[in-house]
Amino acid sequence: MKRRYALISFAAFAVFALFLLSQQSCKKDSNTKNPVFSVKLIDAPSAYDAVNVEIVGMEANFGTGWTVLAMGNSGVYNLLNFTNGNSLALINDTVMEPCIISELRLILGINNTVVADGVTHELKTPSGQTSGYKVKMDPQNLIAGGVYNLILDFNAQKSVHVTGNGTYMLKPVVTGYLETSIGSIAGTILPFEGAYYVEATTATDTSGTYINQTNGQFLISAVMPGNYHVKFFPNAGHSEKIVSGVVVAVGQTTQLGTIIIE
């Protein structure tokens, strides 16, 4: 009888051990292809002339603490260059071990400036922020054989704050989306100079971008799935235009074609 109890105890321990192993992140699987992970950065448009931010690195939390991720494109970048379909590749097709990324944070340097009305100002960062800025995102499970493209939306307009004494402060607002969980809206306006900005809105989400004034093209990227009203903000001499019922689906670009601006 005692031997039976011992066997049951051993079986229970074995099941528990297997459970613990299944919960561990970033363990290699020799029988399957490891996941491939990429990260690129985009920006929501801003009223500033430029928002220059020094990107130093990235770190991920796999449930056991922070780990430095290999990033190829560190340096000072004007965030406003990464709108209307343009992006900055931070991590390119990196083979990872299967894991769960519970948190991600962006490490910035101190060489940050903002240009407003042609004047360059230092962008100060709050004390205690040297550890990095947390990216707002859901935990990402990187499964063997998968290809994962993470979009970081760095909202420059919401990240720059002006204090009462005229000091510019940088408090980054960064949101992460898997490319397979979002969509986009694209099209062309006529005449090319008819409108300068396009904005898509629902009751819970707003996304927008500036329109290329030389060819009339626009691309609103990182749009959550839903039914949108798309509003075109006119230049002088033209009228506002609204297109309703624009449906955005996961992983697809909704093409609006040519939009006539009266």
- The domains of the chain are located at 36-181, 183-260
CATH topology of domain 183-260: Immunoglobulin-like (2.60.40)
Contacts of 61 (CB under 8 A, 6+ apart): 67, 101, 102, 103, 104
Q: What is the pTM of this model?
A: 0.68
Q: In whole angstroms, what separates CA 67 from the centre of its chain?
A: 19
Mean pLDDT of 45-53: 86
CB 47 within 8 A of CB 157: yes
CB 38 within 8 A of CB 150: yes
Backbone angles phi, psi at 61, to 5 degrees: -105, 115
CB 52 within 8 A of CB 78: yes
CA end-to-end span of the chain: 90
Residue 19: predicted pLDDT: 36
Contacts of 151 (CB under 8 A, 6+ apart): 40, 41, 42, 87, 176, 177, 178, 179, 182, 221, 222
Residue 31: predicted pLDDT: 43
* Neighbour tally for 142: CB within 10 Å: 20
The pLDDT tens digits for 103-156 are 888 888 889 999 999 999 999 887 556 668 888 888 888 888 888 888 888 888
Residue-averaged pLDDT of the chain: 81
